[in-house]
Structure 1
Amino acid sequence: MHALVIVTHPDTQSLNHGVAAEICRGVMLSSGNSFEIADLAAEGFDPRFTANDLAVHRREASPSADVLAEQARIDRADALVLVYPVYWWSMPGLLKGWIDRVFTNGWAYDEGSDARLVKRLRHLRVHLVAIGGASERTYARHGYFGAMKTQIEHGIFDYCGAPVVTSELLKAQTHDPASQLDAARAIGRDLFTSSTRRDAAA
């Protein structure tokens, strides 16, 4: 089985990159599995939704080469792992733009003229690992978990049919990140074996 791990933090020494690396270490501990890390910031992915992207959505044009390359990466994967910092109670613009451009009509889903929806990513297991500066208690009090479920899990992945298996929130501001890195390694180790949803809000 193969995992695609998406990381969007511009600082390669950040906890985000450390968590992504430990998830991959966990994948390696589970025999026979492989991974690829896609560092969107380092690779210079352009998140801007262009006129061509709109034409793709309308089924009037073909996706550009960079979008096709990202879709091919996902097509090679059995699991998609998004590791991202929480910016303004949401995901970074780079990651949102990646989703906007890559999860196209005709590839992630089919939306026909008869308004019928075909979900095309039912085979893809999704794991969300958000890294925030506040505690889980603070996020829960302000409704962040509900927003995360609505915007990301339901609004994006359920629309495409991809089941969200993991939904974790790790705290960034800590003197000892060992527990976060241990949790990330466990996520990677269980990526292809766990049938039980891991949910930070549970």
Structure 2
Amino acid sequence: MHALIVTAHPDHHSHTHTIVSQVAQGIAAGGHSYEIADLAAEQFDPRFNQADFEQFKRAAPSPADVVAEQQRLDRADALVLVYPIYWWSFPAQLKGWIDRVFTQGWAYEDDGQHVVKKLGKLQVHLLALGAASQRTYLRRGYFSSMRTQIDVGIFDYCGAPVMTSELLLPGDINYPDAHFELAHQLGQRLFNVKEPA
């Protein structure tokens, strides 16, 4: 089995990149393969541009950089997103990657009356890294908002089952080692995770 790990953080010494590394090591230890899409290092352009809009209207094919990302996803059995929370959401580069890559015709088909979900084979695992306290996230309803916006609004719309949806915070017991251990374990058991009820 093969996983695509996607992240968007400019600092390679960040907690985010260490989590990515631990997930990758776990996947390898579990006998599977992986590819890392480091959007910041690769300078992926997140701007939804005229060419993307033309594709959305079905007036033109997807731009080459979008097709390359879709091919990465087509090779994957699982998608792992590891990201810092910026302003209660994805970093802009990661959100732009989703905006541009999860296109009509490839991720879903919407004829105005019916939606065909096309990514049913792609398991999704989300690791969101926050900086505030758990109390703050709970008080503001962030985790339920994240699940509505991301798990349901993006991935369920495309039929991709979200198998893992974790919020990792600096106030967690045994931080940061507990995060590294969780990430490694997730990687190791990535293809054995059952869909939440």
Question: Shared fold (TM-score greater than 0.5)?
Answer: yes
Matched residue, 2:73: 74
- Cα deviation for residue 172 of structure 1 reads 4.2
* TM-score, with length taken from structure 2: 0.95
Deviation by residue 1:37-81 (Cα, 9 ceiling, x = unmatched): 110000000000001111111111100110000000000000000
Number of positions where the alignment pairs a residue of Structure 1 with one of Structure 2: 196
SS in 2 for 1:100: helix
Structure 1 distance, partners of 2:192, 2:157, is 24
SS in 1 for 2:55: helix
Matched residue, 2:94: 95
- Cα deviation for residue 196 of structure 1 reads 4.7
8 A contact 2:133–2:170 mirrored in 1? no
Structure 1 distance, partners of 2:87, 2:171, is 16
Structure 1 distance, partners of 2:164, 2:59, is 35
Matched residue, 2:10: 10
Q: 1:149 to 1:176 in 2, by over 3 A?
A: closer
Moved over 3 A (4+): 172-176
SS in 2 for 1:192: helix
Q: 1:185 to 1:52 in 2, by over 3 A?
A: same
Structure 2 distance, partners of 1:95, 1:176, is 25
Instruction: State how 1:2-151 maps to structure 2 within 5 Å.
Output: 2-31=2-31, 33-112=32-111, 114-151=112-149
Provide structure 1 residue ranges, at least 5 long, that are not aligned to the other structure: none
Q: 1:196 to 1:135 in 2, by over 3 A?
A: farther
* TM-score, with length taken from structure 1: 0.93
SS in 2 for 1:38: strand
- Cα deviation for residue 117 of structure 1 reads 0.8
8 A contact 2:162–2:195 mirrored in 1? no
Structure 2 distance, partners of 1:86, 1:157, is 18
User: Residue type matched to 1:67 in 2?
Assistant: V
Provide structure 2 residue ranges, at least 5 long, that are not aligned to the other structure: none
Percent sequence identity over aligned pairs: 54
8 A contact 2:161–2:195 mirrored in 1? no
User: Residue type matched to 1:144 in 2?
Assistant: Y
8 A contact 1:136–1:169 mirrored in 2? no
- Cα deviation for residue 116 of structure 1 reads 1.3
- Cα deviation for residue 193 of structure 1 reads 0.8
Structure 2 distance, partners of 1:10, 1:74, is 22
Matched residue, 2:169: 171
CA RMSD, 1 decimal: 1.6
Deviation by residue 1:104-127 (Cα, 9 ceiling, x = unmatched): 000000112x52111000000000
8 A contact 2:9–2:16 mirrored in 1? yes
Structure 1 distance, partners of 2:25, 2:62, is 33
Structure 2 distance, partners of 1:76, 1:196, is 21
Structure 2 distance, partners of 1:19, 1:34, is 17
Structure 2 distance, partners of 1:59, 1:115, is 17
